[in-house]
Structure 1
């Protein structure tokens, strides 16, 4: 990215009326208070729809444990005809049912209206989506993602929402509960970005991280923003060439995206994207050039999609590397990279800190990694798609497959999409939660035997979990 562009101003805006949609019990997606765009009949939360009723398409993107249950965020097409794709927040109880005490019958649907600035500001239809969520100690909820700049533009602005524990907008945050950051000059629709990670601080401030790129899509840069608790930008966080309140990374590779953050004292390590890149940013907003090599840790090849801190210091990234020759055929393989606390390769984990799983044959053709957790005993859980099927890996602390887990260290799910938008399977350690074909791990006890369709329950029992 041309660094001179970064000096252009941005605007923090609030926009849009609050639209609240209904939730659903068990495996049913709940409709909105507004009629679905396909003309289907509405149903009340917690009831089964009539045969033939079409429910609005929804996509779960991330989740967090909340009061023993789960908050799930993503997007919904409940109001597609009027406001486009809207940001969705839904809370489930510990038994897997929609928590009807939250928002409107369990759900909050938010529209950010029009682009923040631009020639198409008269158009309301655009896409808004949540990609990350964090629950604060007081039960309030931070949600972040993007608000699209309009149907005629690929521009995307950073979007942040704060909800009270009951799902109502917290109007102490930016006066409306919502904040939108627009990059570039006024009336420009040049930038595409989204927020993928939230890191709350003990004093109420918080970081959000993601990526920012020009609309031509030629390069994605790390983007890190620090907010005050009241939703204003923390302008004490400054970096040369970036607007106050932000640190925008350089063009280290073709694509850097903050997929996770780890707090180290007063500094923050952020990582993700091509070549498993990671950097450390000080509390003042400058890049720590003592980290890694000249300020950058990386492992050539592949793309990282998840980051966690390791016991005793350091951190672990998980992702995949494509086109790896195994037996004369190219495959995608699961790749894990361990760095020390200072961004150096942790050679105790593997050569150059890297482990790539190429055996047994069942681990090959990894196409996506979307979950990573280190258990209390040091074992590592990784969720990915393998042969287009959801798979949960468990590895020893040194990166070897834990063959006592499932079959050859893996638990698999059926290839066909399950009819439920969210299902939860208890384990002896952390709990696994799956949304469609994506899975995440939480420590909350959130399993109810009656929550599964019969065929799914049988298939899951056969996995050995």
Structure 2
């Protein structure tokens, strides 16, 4: 679709109709409920003899010396549908009962009990990202069902105090709901996938927005004031005040990560490893990449991090790659310079794809990316339901001194990634900042994760 036509369409449909509300009213975006046969265990007793509600962990961050996990739960499925879930664990992996209500916060954003399209319960809320602020408070974001159509979703942001209580100074309710389109309209689907706090208390929330037909997803970036209101000084032509909505650059763009560059922010993710740079005023920087867009043909990116040289790195996968006469999914990394140009020092066109040894093949999802202080790269991926942690050298080669051929692998699991925590024996989960990785280490090693905020969970991920 023509970019200018698309922007005009956004202007007609959402300008002046981006509604913020609070009170009790972001891998797979197609299914908001944690189904698919996954029954994850959130309790401290893994086999207590009682069937626990299905839960899905979507994102993790260090909080109060432990780990906060966000996602969704079916604990109240019969009454409120799928609800947003926040749970905190201690550094030893036990549920932190001092947080929220016995370790958990379950939030419902009201929606239809039954939808007109399917006649079944369609109301669902889910958290897709989390950020812990310097004062210990927690920002959680994702989506809530946005109307009576089965595919409509609103952006939601929740602010919790360090103890898990709603921060009532945030939008007066502790919750903010952002609806695109006219009130009660069901034209748009979206979710928040990444949060980037700023030093002055404001923050960016990035994700995607699409029409309810789901045929195209576009970057969506919102800037909030510290009190939960939209920052209306952040403006972009054709988008409502407080937001920047991208054009149809590829079939699907979703903000899977953000990095500050001075006062501007780089955001990227989705098809063709797309990335753009947005100025602090809200305009797209057209000097970035090629006419404002960095892009590497083929594949889909699910994570973004800043690089020490001022550039940034995207990680994801490319499917149907011919290797030895057979089609495989392969891990793909794309390095860009600070200005969005391919970093050819990392690989041809800034790209590295791992096609050997055989153990690196058939990557279907990437959910974690980190650059260590020594420049080595950690990538956590789901390889046909088998969790794998890759470590690569700064140039993109596998670090064969790590694990077996640069990989640490675990048995098959039906759990979604990032893995949900439960207290059993087995592999360990290492947490660095807002990223989490599986490791077989039983003690914290400063040489492996040198950051001061690193923590190691000595309990199992439930595999």
Q: TM-score range by the shorter chain?
A: 0.7 to 0.9
- 8 Å CA contact 1:194–1:210 kept in 2: the answer is yes
1:372: how far off?
0.4
Deviations 1:227-253 (A, max 9, x none): 000000000000000000000000000
- 8 Å CA contact 1:96–1:451 kept in 2: the answer is no
SS of 1:336's equivalent in the other structure is: strand
Residue range with higher mean Cα deviation, 445-454 or 406-415:
445-454
- 8 Å CA contact 1:88–1:110 kept in 2: the answer is yes
Q: Cα distance 1:421–1:12, how it changes in 2: closer, same or farther (>3 A)?
A: farther
1:149: how far off?
2.2
1:123: how far off?
11
Residue 461 of structure 2: aligned partner: 463
- Counterpart Cα distance in 2 of 1:349 and 1:34: 36
Residue 51 of structure 1: aligned partner: 48
- Counterpart Cα distance in 1 of 2:456 and 2:140: 35
Q: Cα distance 1:13–1:430, how it changes in 2: closer, same or farther (>3 A)?
A: farther
Deviations 1:71-124 (A, max 9, x none): 100000000000000000001111111111100010000001127999999999
Residue range with higher mean Cα deviation, 182-191 or 349-358:
182-191
Q: Cα distance 1:97–1:446, how it changes in 2: closer, same or farther (>3 A)?
A: farther
Deviations 1:154-197 (A, max 9, x none): 10000000000000000000000000011111221010000000
Deviations 1:269-298 (A, max 9, x none): 000000000000000000000000000000
- 8 Å CA contact 2:128–2:192 kept in 1: the answer is yes
Deviations 1:39-58 (A, max 9, x none): 99999997648853110000
Residue 432 of structure 1: aligned partner: 429
Report 1:404-423 matches (<5 A): 404-417=401-414
- Counterpart Cα distance in 2 of 1:436 and 1:205: 20
1:427: how far off?
18
1:312: how far off?
2.1
- 8 Å CA contact 2:422–2:460 kept in 1: the answer is no
Deviations 1:101-152 (A, max 9, x none): 1000100000011279999999996100000000000000000000012564
Report 1:62-461 matches (<5 A): 62-114=59-111, 126-150=123-147, 152-417=149-414, 432-433=429-430, 440=437
- Counterpart Cα distance in 2 of 1:27 and 1:344: 26
- 8 Å CA contact 1:372–1:441 kept in 2: the answer is no
Deviations 1:420-445 (A, max 9, x none): 99677999999844999996479999
Question: What stretches of structure 2 of length at least 5 have no aligned partner?
Answer: none
Deviations 1:279-336 (A, max 9, x none): 0000000000000000000000000000000012100000000111111111110000
- Counterpart Cα distance in 2 of 1:17 and 1:241: 12
Residue range with higher mean Cα deviation, 401-410 or 106-115:
106-115
1:462: how far off?
15
- Counterpart Cα distance in 2 of 1:445 and 1:76: 30
Q: Cα distance 1:410–1:34, how it changes in 2: closer, same or farther (>3 A)?
A: closer
Q: Cα distance 1:454–1:200, how it changes in 2: closer, same or farther (>3 A)?
A: closer
Q: Cα distance 1:445–1:280, how it changes in 2: closer, same or farther (>3 A)?
A: farther
- 8 Å CA contact 2:154–2:189 kept in 1: the answer is yes
- 8 Å CA contact 2:38–2:414 kept in 1: the answer is no
- Counterpart Cα distance in 1 of 2:459 and 2:144: 41
Q: Cα distance 1:124–1:454, how it changes in 2: closer, same or farther (>3 A)?
A: same
Question: What stretches of structure 1 of length at least 5 have no aligned partner?
Answer: none
- Counterpart Cα distance in 2 of 1:328 and 1:348: 29
Residue range with higher mean Cα deviation, 285-294 or 412-421:
412-421
1:463: how far off?
15
- 8 Å CA contact 1:314–1:339 kept in 2: the answer is yes
Q: Cα distance 1:357–1:121, how it changes in 2: closer, same or farther (>3 A)?
A: closer
Query: TM-score with structure 2 length normalisation?
Result: 0.82
- 8 Å CA contact 1:25–1:45 kept in 2: the answer is no
- 8 Å CA contact 1:302–1:321 kept in 2: the answer is yes
Deviations 1:368-400 (A, max 9, x none): 001100011110000112243111000000000
1:12: how far off?
19
Q: Cα distance 1:253–1:99, how it changes in 2: closer, same or farther (>3 A)?
A: same
1:7: how far off?
8.8
- 8 Å CA contact 2:59–2:418 kept in 1: the answer is no
Q: Cα distance 1:7–1:406, how it changes in 2: closer, same or farther (>3 A)?
A: closer
SS of 1:272's equivalent in the other structure is: strand
- 8 Å CA contact 2:11–2:239 kept in 1: the answer is no
- Counterpart Cα distance in 2 of 1:12 and 1:230: 28
- 8 Å CA contact 2:141–2:157 kept in 1: the answer is yes
Q: Cα distance 1:67–1:334, how it changes in 2: closer, same or farther (>3 A)?
A: same
- 8 Å CA contact 2:7–2:247 kept in 1: the answer is no
Residue range with higher mean Cα deviation, 274-283 or 418-427:
418-427
Q: Cα distance 1:297–1:94, how it changes in 2: closer, same or farther (>3 A)?
A: same
- 8 Å CA contact 1:68–1:446 kept in 2: the answer is no
Q: Cα distance 1:291–1:204, how it changes in 2: closer, same or farther (>3 A)?
A: same
Return the structure number with greater relative CO, CA threshold 8 A, min gap 6: 2
Number of positions where the alignment pairs a residue of Structure 1 with one of Structure 2 = 462
- Counterpart Cα distance in 1 of 2:175 and 2:4: 29
- Counterpart Cα distance in 1 of 2:34 and 2:282: 45
